[in-house]
Structure 1
Amino acid sequence: MSPRTSQPGYDVIVVGNGALGSSLAVELAGRQGSVALIGPAHRPYAASAAAGAMLGCFGEVTTALLDNAHGMTKFDLDLKAKDIWPEWLQNISDGTSDGTELLTASGTTVLLNTVGSGPIDSGNYAAIRAMLDKYDEPYESVDPADISWLDPDPNSRPLEALHIPGEHAVDSGRLLRRLERTAEDRGVHVVDDQAVSLVNSDGQVRGVVLASGATLSARKVVLAGGVGSQDLIDSVPGLGACIPRLVAGYGVSVVMTTQDGTQPESVIRTPNRAFACGLHVVPRGLGRVYVGATNIINPRPLADPVLRDLEFLTGCAHRQIRRNLWSSSIVQVNVGNRPVSLDGFPLLGETPLDGLWMMTGTYRDGLFLSPLLAREFARRLAGEEPELDLDAFTPERAPLEGVSREAVIDTTVEHMLATGYEHHWNIPTDWQEYLAADLKPIYTRWADEIDAGFTPPPELLASSRLHPHMVEWLRAYYDNCRAKFGAPASAEVRTVRDQVDRAQEVLTSAQVWAPRQDVLALAAHVTNSTPESLDLDASLTGSSAEEFWSLVRRRADRVPLEYLTGRATLFDLEFHVNEGVFIPRVHSEAMIENALARCSVNRLRAVDLCTGSGAIALAIARLRSDSTVTGVDISAAAVQCARRNADRLQEKIPNPAEFIEGDASDPNLLTDLDGGVDLITANPPYVPHSLQIPPEWAVYQPTEAIYSGWDGLDLTRSIVATAARLLKKGGVLAIEHYDTVVDDVVDILRSAGFTSVTSHTDHDGFARYVVAQYLEA
């Protein structure tokens, strides 16, 4: 555009009069010859004006922060910022006070209540506590009942609480007025106008053009205007190609006059949840409280509150914090737009346009970081040595990711469901699992559609499904970065330890009962090692990593571990197992040992009925080398599997069992052995047809090896009859059973002529097998 007027030049122009820009102007005053601070006095769209202005970093901690190296880099800045606020408040008061009158809260109390989802709320609460411990930040656990101002709805009662005495809050409106007054007192030229474009030539910034048509000149310009900075980047063709674009984290907050004229002493908040900052109530004096804040990602900033968000916020406040807020007055509704970059991390440093700097994209903690970043940028603009390492956040960069695509997708699904919990959705109890199962492939496909390699952060992955513009921006940014910086390095964690830890979370969510044990077994399987010898610090990449995650996903679907590895172990013997064959279980070892202890004969003759993989029959042959063992199963597939195991174990078992196909209930089975067998073992199908059992058995293992009639004892009765025919007098029968029918099994044995009947428990303490002798000699 052609400016109508031109004004004298400045040494530095700061665009944006929120907390970041105003703080920088204050710091620059006296260090630079002349400084201009540009921004409309009423601060439309600004995040700072609508902020709760909590001065803390620990209350904002999330599990996602701890899992991400770039997140931890940002947290290091927060740690440094928290220590300089007392001095900063005094500094910006210029001797009129110590600045503490700007504080509105004494400490922060974090609640873990019953509203959000456990993995997010409980996880984030535990992460907050862990970081407090790690950095020796003072805090105390408190009984929620002792928090006098807290009075939530009983359906939202808090379970735990902790108080952080060092995390206060300021009144953001008063803070901004104090910063502006201090800047003016120190000689900063405060311009009530909007910067609409940059002036540049020969790769050097020359100033800005204002909405009024005037041009302000400077050879150093700092964009600290939040989401509005994007329009200025766009005014220079090509400048933003590899700078992650800024979009709006639109949010609503309210100020209320409480019905009873009271307010809490501290900030009261929940952990961050459901793509948003946690619900927080901040005292503001005179019986008023600030309640914040929602967070919805939008391509462009919004100026007016949306009814959905206002209703949700106020509903959460009176349900979760204090019931009489329902009868309190809303005296002010604030709308703010947090600056969110396309990769979710700040834009801090000089751009490719010489003299143009960016200090924005800080998302939720720009106000909190403002004194720290203001001092750092003032040093850098003055040519002094930097004190902070901001290299990771330089504006032009390849996307900062730090976690795998799968982790992003899992987080997106978790937070989408958490939104429903906080809205008090009323759906059937088991629908959450159905929804999660459906959402994961949806977001997986959506991430693939956006880009094959780069993955946006969870908030943007979810929001971009609703906003075509955002998809266009993401694709353009990724394409530009790929051309400039090359293909993305895999964000997939590389060490066995990291991948095992992540896989354990997946299996825990899938309700697998031994998730750690199983992922270690799968990792050992793909690395040709054992769980005991697994090198957790070794790398796991390429085809091995792909195979590992393929197996983890199948285990999460509840496919039995033994089918995935193709093997099961009994007495240190490794047996091949495949789908269609019942999986041997470790508690059969105790039954075999007990049964053999009851058989004192030489040259043992044994029969294993329902032999499956042949594990019990082959274990007997191994433990009693003088034995002759026959394994019987009605399944041809099982018999083939048992024979393969006999062949594989021939070196360890020179005199292996033989295996035949046959029905254990057939009165003509093995008639040539009638009255000549010393030992019969059996692990028959024994589950009642009506019993609900885990999918590892109900879905994946052969039905005929699991179920046996209405009480589960049909085949047990037949086996006892067959055993009575085959056994010598004094011969031993050992048979496994379902724990609750032990008395029935004992009665069946005694009725068939068995004596010395003893019941035994398995390694979990459940009645599991019975050993008896037939017509004891």
Structure 2
Amino acid sequence: MPHTPQQGRETGFDVIVVGNGALGSSAAVELARRGASVALIGRAHRPYAASTAAGAMLGCFGEVTTALLDNAYGQAKFELDLLAKDVWPQWLESISGGVSDGRDLLTATGTTVLLNSVGTGSIDTDNFNAIRATLEKHDEPYETVDPADLDWLDPDPNSRPLQALHIPGEHAVDSGRLLHRLERTARDLGVTVVDGHASSVISDGDQVRGVVLENGESLTAGQVLLAGGVGTQDMVDSVPGLGDCIPRLVAGYGVSALVTTEDGTQPQSVIRTPNRAFACGLHIVPRSAGQVYVGATNIISPRPLADPVMRDILFLLECSHRQIRRNLWTSTVVRVNVGNRPISLDGFPLLGETPLDGLWMMTGTYRDGLFLSPVLAKEFARRLLGEEPELNLEPFAPERAPLQGVSRESVVDTTVEHTLATGYEQHWRVPTDWQEFLDVGLKPIYAEWAKELDADFTPQPDLLAAARLEPQLVTWLRTYYDNCRARFGRPGETSPAAGDLVDSAAEFLTAARVPAPRADALALAAHALPGYSPETGAATPVPTEGAERFWSLVARRADREPLEYLLGRARLFDLELEVGAGVFVPQPRTEALVTEALARCDTPRPRVVDLCTGSGAVALAVGALRPDAVVTGVDHSADALRWAKQNGDKLRSRVKAEVDFVEGDIADPELLAALDGGVDLVTAVPPNFPDRLQVVPETSVYQPATAIRSGWDGLDAMRAVAATAARLLRKEGVLAVEHHDALTDAVIEIVREAGFDSVTSHTDQNGHPRFVIARRAAA
């Protein structure tokens, strides 16, 4: 039903602009310049507005984050930002009424971005690097700065910056003076400025007719532009059904402060950090002499707030003196500002005409409304007055299905990452290893919460986190999602990109303390995703069954199951060996033992025995490198011998020597008795860890204990190997045995006592003493 006022007078205009912040005031100016009769509605003191509390930084590069540019919608928004950065000089001059060129509104010369040690590397460092990479991509001038050379910077030593870069083309304006100048320009152009509040929209069928003020007065117009930030939502709600599929606007409540410095100084440029956990970065903006603006916090709230929360004031001021300049501690706080940024339920701006003819919406999101105001003002003036549009705003049309820029999995990962980062930003003290526990614990919680919230759609990370604490947000999100499903149908399933899966898996494995998380994630991807390679397949969509197979392996690796078990193979030299439960995983370090042992054994057609053969890796490597050899592998484990024989059969074409495997106990004095005194080379990789020694889970939990541990001192098997080798070897025969690096001296003594001489110790590829080579004494 159309809303028709029952009282008050009517006044007609071409366009009514609701909202007198930077966006609404700029649009009113641009419309009036083009000859339209315009009413600009908003309370003079602008309660709840974002513009009045803004730092008013005129830059887009300093706002770059990895999350902004990792999806098509964020990139489209950044393209608008790029247009805006070039418009501001002319725009400031155009609203200065000939009294100046507009530069008197500027309060800062350039922006300096700091990377300090306060946040987390996965957010602060990555965003800092993203800023630099984007500057370079767009050929925007910048310079790397030594933080020690920044005169005004004097942070607490615990928060000192690690790196800095200066962007000379990104300035700041005084938001209060900017709004005053916009209003004066609007009045000079004939705009009717209404100090009041619009309470509802007047419509006639499918056509807008005007608005009703809170005092009952009606203003009529053929076009109405809602540019009132988060307050726009009340106007949408006044038209039944209009907002069903328009993502609702909620408040990004934040505080900033105006501070008079104790020593009367201020920086020349904006000083800021990259954007941080669920919020903008800390920033200091010079204002009038001796004063600086300190901003800003950001908390999702279902409704705008007018008064600052103590928590946010304390946090903001604490950050400013610790991270930027210590003597801000003794400065005076002139004013605390409260602002409410408009945040839509899908995290992107609302730009365009609504389903109600003549009713338009124009919002910023998070931090860019003021910055985009000249560009959007010009574009909307063209559209409202029937001119040809110049910008593609179609992705951000108000009525739409939720814009899902990234996968649900990526949203969950980001939510967890930023949740933990808020703690580090506030200097929480937790035990060193707790972050991994928290990370691993939070991911399934948020994943389950996202699934519970909706089966198809996932909100932005900050909204996902906030919705767990705000039941009203849950209701709004579910209602919007249900309406969109009914209107647009269920969204098509978006397959995650292989590269995104690998990135997420690497983070997950890092949290699980896997030693080489990224390398393992890449190996599992190559194994589970046919055709994947990191060089060419990062953007390849992965079907559901492939993703499930991959994540099943990642979960097992996070439980520290050996990578080789998951892949089903290990390598020694160029031999691919099958391995799995029940057998020791051969290690690359053993290649050095095999190479050195064969170099010492120059007998033609050597007879070789490999004790503790396990998977048969050493026996088969010897057989591949010495085709004239005759090799016998021995192990007491029937499970291990099954793997060894399986590998022997598989590698028959590669291993030309005669190789067989037998079951036996290396301590048995009758083992291979027929070969006594006739063997040229004995190799062994026996169990060599002391029972009491703490060993990584990949070894201690999953691989057979009898292949790992060997008594209290770790030398039980070594004694048996030395005794059996002394019996089997001919005089001058060679023994090559691997050992634990901490037991070198004890192993040398055992080998000597067993009847060997020429005993030498050798290191592996990492320089650790790892194996001993000895000759059977001639006497």
TM over 0.5: yes
Q: In structure 2, the residue corresponding to 1:218 is in which secondary structure?
A: strand
Q: Contact conserved, 2:248 with 2:344, CA < 8 A, in 1? A: yes
- Residue identity in the other structure for 2:239: V
Residue in 2 aligned with 1:74? 77
Alignment match of 2:116 (pick from 113, 118, 134): 113
Q: In structure 1, the residue corresponding to 2:12 is in which secondary structure?
A: coil
In the TM superposition, 1:154-233 aligns within 5 A as: 154-233=157-236
Q: Residues 528 and 330 from structure 1, CA distance in 2 versus in 1: closer, same or farther, beyond 3 angstroms?
A: closer
Q: Contact conserved, 1:612 with 1:642, CA < 8 A, in 2? A: yes
Alignment match of 1:276 (pick from 271, 275, 279): 279
> 1:261 aligned to 2:276?
no
Count of residue pairs the alignment pairs up? 776
Give the distance between the partners of 1:409 and 1:100, measured in 2 at CA. 44
Residue in 2 aligned with 1:520? 522
Q: Contact conserved, 1:731 with 1:776, CA < 8 A, in 2? A: no
- Residue identity in the other structure for 1:736: E
Q: Contact conserved, 2:686 with 2:738, CA < 8 A, in 1? A: yes
Percent same amino acid among aligned pairs? 67
Task: After superposition, give the CA deviation of every residue in 1:381-410 in whole Å (9 maximum; x if it has no partner).
Answer: 122221111111111112112222121111
Deviation at 1:628, TM superposition (A): 3.4
> 1:431 aligned to 2:429?
no
Give the distance between the partners of 2:626 and 2:600, measured in 1 at CA. 13
Residue in 2 aligned with 1:54? 57
Deviation at 1:557, TM superposition (A): 4.0
Give the distance between the partners of 1:113 and 1:200, measured in 2 at CA. 53
Alignment match of 1:409 (pick from 401, 409, 412): 412
Q: Contact conserved, 1:3 with 1:209, CA < 8 A, in 2? A: no
Residue in 2 aligned with 1:419? 422
Residue in 2 aligned with 1:555? 557
Task: After superposition, give the CA deviation of every residue in 1:616-643 in whole Å (9 maximum; x if it has no partner).
Answer: 2222233334433332233332222223
Deviation at 1:551, TM superposition (A): 2.2
Alignment match of 1:305 (pick from 308, 331, 341): 308
Q: Residues 281 and 67 from structure 1, CA distance in 2 versus in 1: closer, same or farther, beyond 3 angstroms?
A: same
Q: Contact conserved, 2:594 with 2:618, CA < 8 A, in 1? A: yes
Give the distance between the partners of 1:268 and 1:32, measured in 2 at CA. 41
Task: After superposition, give the CA deviation of every residue in 1:522-550 in whole Å (9 maximum; x if it has no partner).
Answer: 22212455869975565432322321233
In the TM superposition, 1:25-174 aligns within 5 A as: 25-174=28-177
When the two structures are superposed, what TM-score results if normalisation uses the length of structure 2?
0.95
Give the distance between the partners of 1:151 and 1:467, measured in 2 at CA. 39
> 1:383 aligned to 2:386?
yes
Segment drifting more, 90-99 vs 743-752:
743-752
In the TM superposition, 1:363-374 aligns within 5 A as: 363-374=366-377
Segment drifting more, 370-379 vs 562-571:
562-571
Give the distance between the partners of 2:322 and 2:677, measured in 1 at CA. 76
> 1:393 aligned to 2:396?
yes
Give the distance between the partners of 1:505 and 1:385, measured in 2 at CA. 47
Deviation at 1:144, TM superposition (A): 1.5
> 1:476 aligned to 2:487?
no
Q: Contact conserved, 1:246 with 1:361, CA < 8 A, in 2? A: no
Deviation at 1:513, TM superposition (A): 4.2
When the two structures are superposed, what TM-score results if normalisation uses the length of structure 1?
0.95
> 1:544 aligned to 2:549?
no
Q: Residues 753 and 100 from structure 1, CA distance in 2 versus in 1: closer, same or farther, beyond 3 angstroms?
A: same
Segment drifting more, 740-749 vs 467-476:
740-749
Deviation at 1:669, TM superposition (A): 3.3
Q: Residues 689 and 85 from structure 1, CA distance in 2 versus in 1: closer, same or farther, beyond 3 angstroms?
A: farther
Residue in 2 aligned with 1:670? 672
Residue in 1 aligned with 2:602? 600
Q: In structure 2, the residue corresponding to 1:658 is in which secondary structure?
A: strand
Q: Residues 387 and 50 from structure 1, CA distance in 2 versus in 1: closer, same or farther, beyond 3 angstroms?
A: same
Residue in 2 aligned with 1:462? 465
> 1:488 aligned to 2:466?
no
Task: After superposition, give the CA deviation of every residue in 1:682-717 in whole Å (9 maximum; x if it has no partner).
Answer: 112223445444433344333332333455433223
Give the distance between the partners of 1:637 and 1:125, measured in 2 at CA. 53
Q: Contact conserved, 1:521 with 1:530, CA < 8 A, in 2? A: no
Q: Contact conserved, 1:350 with 1:395, CA < 8 A, in 2? A: yes
Give the distance between the partners of 2:532 and 2:654, measured in 1 at CA. 20
Q: In structure 2, the residue corresponding to 1:330 is in which secondary structure?
A: strand
Residue in 2 aligned with 1:628? 630
Segment drifting more, 23-32 vs 697-706:
697-706
- Residue identity in the other structure for 1:239: L
Kindly report structure 1 stretches of 4+ aligned residues shifted beyond 6 Å.
none
Q: Residues 319 and 167 from structure 1, CA distance in 2 versus in 1: closer, same or farther, beyond 3 angstroms?
A: same
Q: Contact conserved, 2:439 with 2:511, CA < 8 A, in 1? A: no
Give the distance between the partners of 2:235 and 2:171, measured in 1 at CA. 34
Q: In structure 2, the residue corresponding to 1:8 is in which secondary structure?
A: strand
- Residue identity in the other structure for 1:269: R
> 1:447 aligned to 2:450?
yes
Give the distance between the partners of 1:106 and 1:532, measured in 2 at CA. 42
Give the distance between the partners of 1:28 and 1:321, measured in 2 at CA. 42
Residue in 2 aligned with 1:6? 9
Q: Residues 656 and 548 from structure 1, CA distance in 2 versus in 1: closer, same or farther, beyond 3 angstroms?
A: farther
Give the distance between the partners of 2:244 and 2:655, measured in 1 at CA. 69
> 1:746 aligned to 2:756?
no
User: Which structure 1 residue ranges, 5 or more long, are not aligned?
Assistant: none
Q: In structure 2, the residue corresponding to 1:248 is in which secondary structure?
A: strand
Alignment match of 1:286 (pick from 279, 282, 289): 289
Deviation at 1:512, TM superposition (A): 4.0
Q: Residues 544 and 761 from structure 1, CA distance in 2 versus in 1: closer, same or farther, beyond 3 angstroms?
A: same
Give the distance between the partners of 2:728 and 2:459, measured in 1 at CA. 69
Q: Contact conserved, 1:608 with 1:632, CA < 8 A, in 2? A: yes
Q: Residues 97 and 233 from structure 1, CA distance in 2 versus in 1: closer, same or farther, beyond 3 angstroms?
A: same
Residue in 2 aligned with 1:331? 334
Q: Contact conserved, 1:732 with 1:774, CA < 8 A, in 2? A: yes
Q: Residues 705 and 266 from structure 1, CA distance in 2 versus in 1: closer, same or farther, beyond 3 angstroms?
A: same
Deviation at 1:766, TM superposition (A): 3.1
Q: Contact conserved, 1:11 with 1:32, CA < 8 A, in 2? A: no
In the TM superposition, 1:568-579 aligns within 5 A as: 568-579=570-581
Q: Residues 715 and 231 from structure 1, CA distance in 2 versus in 1: closer, same or farther, beyond 3 angstroms?
A: same
Segment drifting more, 726-735 vs 646-655:
646-655
Q: Residues 508 and 73 from structure 1, CA distance in 2 versus in 1: closer, same or farther, beyond 3 angstroms?
A: farther
Deviation at 1:242, TM superposition (A): 1.4
In the TM superposition, 1:614-653 aligns within 5 A as: 614-653=616-655
Give the distance between the partners of 1:664 and 1:233, measured in 2 at CA. 83
Task: After superposition, give the CA deviation of every residue in 1:661-697 in whole Å (9 maximum; x if it has no partner).
Answer: 4333344433343323222211122234454444333
User: Which structure 2 residue ranges, 5 or more long, are not aligned?
Assistant: none
Give the distance between the partners of 2:536 and 2:719, measured in 1 at CA. 45
Alignment match of 2:768 (pick from 766, 769, 775): 766
- Residue identity in the other structure for 1:707: R
Q: Contact conserved, 2:49 with 2:229, CA < 8 A, in 1? A: yes
Give the distance between the partners of 2:535 and 2:305, measured in 1 at CA. 57
Q: Residues 485 and 269 from structure 1, CA distance in 2 versus in 1: closer, same or farther, beyond 3 angstroms?
A: same
Alignment match of 2:722 (pick from 711, 720, 724): 720
Task: After superposition, give the CA deviation of every residue in 1:259-300 in whole Å (9 maximum; x if it has no partner).
Answer: 121111111111111111011111111211111111001111
Q: Contact conserved, 1:635 with 1:661, CA < 8 A, in 2? A: yes
Q: Residues 409 and 212 from structure 1, CA distance in 2 versus in 1: closer, same or farther, beyond 3 angstroms?
A: same
- Residue identity in the other structure for 2:640: A
Give the distance between the partners of 1:769 and 1:134, measured in 2 at CA. 52
Q: In structure 1, the residue corresponding to 2:98 is in which secondary structure?
A: coil
Segment drifting more, 337-346 vs 404-413:
404-413
Task: After superposition, give the CA deviation of every residue in 1:198-242 in whole Å (9 maximum; x if it has no partner).
Answer: 111221111111111111111211111111111111112221121
- Residue identity in the other structure for 1:347: L
Deviation at 1:501, TM superposition (A): 4.7
Q: In structure 2, the residue corresponding to 1:434 is in which secondary structure?
A: helix
